[in-house]
Structures are given as C-alpha cells and as structure tokens.
Structure 1
Amino acid sequence: RAQAVVKEVSWLTPEHRTTVDALMAGQFEGLGPRKLAGKVRAHAERLDQHGALERNEIAYSERRVTVRPAAYGMAWVTALVSTQQAVGILATLTRDANSVVNSGETADPTDPTGQPRGHGQIMADLFVQRVNGHAPAAVPAEVQVVMTDEALFADGDTPAWVTGHGPIPAQLAKRWLAMPETDVFLRRVFARPGDHQLVGMESRRRAFPASLRRMVVLRDDTCRTPYCDGRIQDIDHATPYREGGPTSWQNASGLCAACNQIKENTGWTHQATPEHLSVTTPTGHRYSKDTGPVLEGIPPDKQEPPDEEPRPQVRATTDCFAKTTQSTLTLRLAA
C-alpha cells in the first residue's frame, strides 16, 4: 500500500505530495492497494489538473497491443488503451458471457465432446471472435462516471470517477461526452450533506431492482469487503434474506463473486449499514470498513461540517444544490 501511494504522487511537487499526505492521514483502514491508489490519485489530479491531463495525453499516445508467450501453447494479448475503451470492452464481454451462461449454450465448439466452458473461457472466445471479425452485432455497454455539477458545467477541480476503476481528470471526462459515438444519459444523484454519501431507496423484493443495484455500485465502487479490490459482481444481502434481511439500501453490499461465496460459509457474518461494514471471520477476528464519499478528491474546504441539530437527508433548494449533489453520467459505449 505504501508503494501504491508513492506511485500515484511521484509526479507531484514536494508541496503537493505533503498536502496529499495530510489529506490521506488516517484514511488507510479497510482499503486494498487499488482502492487506496484511486483515492490518492483523485487528490493528486485535483491539486495539479494540468499535469494530470498532460500525463493522460502522453499515456494515450503510447497505446498499443503486445503479445508475449505463455506456457503450453498459450499467449497473453495485452492492449494498452484508454480507461473508457477498456471499461467498455470488459463490460460488453462480461454482459455477453453472462447471456451465454444463462442460455445454457456453453458447449465448447472446438471440443468434439462438447465440454462446457466457464465464464472466463466464454469471455476469451468472444474476444477472439470479435477481434477476428466473426462476432455477432455488438451490444451497447454502460460506463458510469461520477462528476460534481461544478466540474461538469463549470471549471470545478474535482476529478471525475469511473465506477470500479478510479479517478480521471474532469476535462478528460468532458472529452468523452463530446464523442459522436457516445450516447450520454445524465442522472442527478443526491448525496447527504457533510459526508457526501448517497441517499438510498428500498424494495421489498428479494432481487435488488436495477436502480438500487446501480446506486449500490456507485456507493461501493469495488468489492466492499475490507482490503478486497475485486470488481463488484453481486449485490448481496448483508443479513441474509432467509434470515429476514430486507432488500434495502441499508442491507445491501456490493461484493465480488469470491467474497459473496465465502460469506455463505459457516462462521462468517456481515453487519452493514450504508456507512459501515463489519466482517467477522470463523476465528472471531473482526475487520471493518467505512463507506467513502460518492466522489473522492473533494477538498476539505468544500465539505460541510456536521450540524449540531439533525436536518433532512436530502435538500434540493437552489442555493445548496451544488454542495449536496453530484451528477452521474452514464456513458453508453458501442462495443
């Protein structure tokens, strides 16, 4: 984790590195290296917007595809592309592989015995088919990008955040919006004053509805289990549904597939609120993780101190709109 921090601030001036150190003090609890790096990068990009955009432009100019051999007649194909393109590729392949699995047509066409393929194998086959030009019509994929309204409509300095992947300069996100092949859907997401956490919604159904699933993914960003940086694959009932756990914002956790399966083993318990998750292992050890704001990198002077008296969770009056909301841009990208 120390290496992750150093890597993300190495390009900053000593003064800015000191500022990031102060902002991150006491913020390491429950964070894996990937999530921690994203939080640090968000602060770094806010402090030096011009330098961050310059680094992204240099990196984009170095895009390429490489191949290196692997064991037993296999090889690694690596593509260095923009975050926008990479997220779109992964989202499309995952979505279409899920469709194949759900249809039950998982037989391997290259195997005479028709052995079934796993999810990863199907994704790899779809990738090869589409690169070689033998794929069916591409299915649109969604990429969720969170921005403050100030950064979206004016010259705000808070970096945008690609859900599940981390921060990018706000100016780069605006360039994405200007691409003619991108369909843009703008949704307002109301965050609670002070700590900027999302306000929830609730359903009595066992399956989480699409709108609630989307909000949980925005809130948790990556797997919610302490120190896990896995991609969210399941929206889990922290208190199991079979034990009376409601299908609600308060009882929802975004988990990777492995953590969701481990949680079902004897001796594992999750206690969750929208603000906090506590995991108890079969050995009795307890690990905790606090939920961060919906958008990282907001400078301290822009965060409101908590009031002495409670106030409504959602405010929508004109004078406080900029302080209590973030705008979520859902970019639908052609695969």
Structure 2
Amino acid sequence: MELIRERREPVAGQSEAGLAGSVAASVVAADPAQVVPGSGVEASGSVSRDLIGQLRVLEEMKSAICGLQARVAVAFEAARRAERAGVPAADRGDDAGAEIALARREPPSRGSRFLGLARALVFEMPRTMAALESGMLNEWRATLLVKETACLSAEDRAGVDAELAPDTGTFEGVGDKGVIAAARAAAYRRDPRSVAQRAARPRLTGR
C-alpha cells in the first residue's frame, strides 16, 4: 500500500503553479479497499497516521490552489480590461466576474465576490495570501480576514494584515470565531468609526 512518500515544503521564490505541483507530487492515493476489514490486509496505526497525513497534505494543496486561482483571477481581469480598453462600455459584453464564475462553475454573483477576495489578497493583504498559499489558512479563513477588514482603507487593511501576520502560524489551533475576533479587534484599533458603522448594519451569516 503506497501512502505519502515525501513531505515537500514551499521553497522561497517558488511559483504558485510550482507549489501546487510540489504538494501534488508528494501525495500517492491510497486504495480504501486495502484497509477494509476482511480484505486480507491488517490496518495498523501507522497506516491511519499516514492516511491522516495525506488529508493534511491535500488540504494544503487545496489552499495553494485557491491562492493560485486568486492570482489568476486578478491577472485575467487586468488582461480583459487591456483587451477592451478602446471598446465603449456598452459593447464590452460579459464582465470579468461573470466569466470567472463560469470557469469556477458558480453563479455569476459569486464570481464577482471571488474577484473581490482575490483583489484584496493580491493587492492589500500579502501575508494572508502567503498563509493561504502555504496552507496555513484555508480559503474560508482567508475570506473571513478579508471580510472583517472590508470597511478599512487599503492602507489600514494592509496594516491589519501585517499585525496579524497569518503567514507565521498565528491562527494555528484557533477557531473561526477566534479568527474573526482577532481581525475585528485589529481593524477597530485602526479605524474605530468604520468598524462601528459596519457592525451597526445588518449582516449575513454563514459561508
């Protein structure tokens, strides 16, 4: 039974595609039939540890791919804008968000939402982006940090990003509520008025 052969760590300067490929190369799929009772193969404690290790590596791979998708989405928006620079607004056709949603097999509104997330990560929150790409944060937690700083200026948002330093593992072992609380507190220290105004507005909950 083949399991994880090697755990590969990100290398400084490694491209997003290279990172995802490196993580993927470290995983070899296990055959569940080989650990089913009565299959003739005894499932030892080391097998279960290896399998849970594979889940962790796959989760890190998902995060790295989410980071790469964010960079690609921002690049796509810039390319599409450049291609249609001389075209009147009424004749430009589909916007970038709708096309991104189609590529992600999501409703159009979610494409615009993802593009907003991508812009924030790429241009204003580099340390949150680094944490996403390295697997320290998943896409949902990165989204929480972006959401809780949405009321701030780009400068203040970058300041919160630097203060929280998600890429150093500051949220390891912290639940979603802890992530939200830390982001809100840091945002409040930067701009109390904007945070208070945002808190007074009705808000949607859940993913």
Normalised to the residue count of structure 2, the TM-score between the two structures is 0.28
Q: Greater helix percent: which structure? A: 2
Normalised to the residue count of structure 1, the TM-score between the two structures is 0.20
Greater RCO (Cα-Cα under 8 Å, separation 6 or more): 1
Q: Greater strand percent: which structure? A: 1
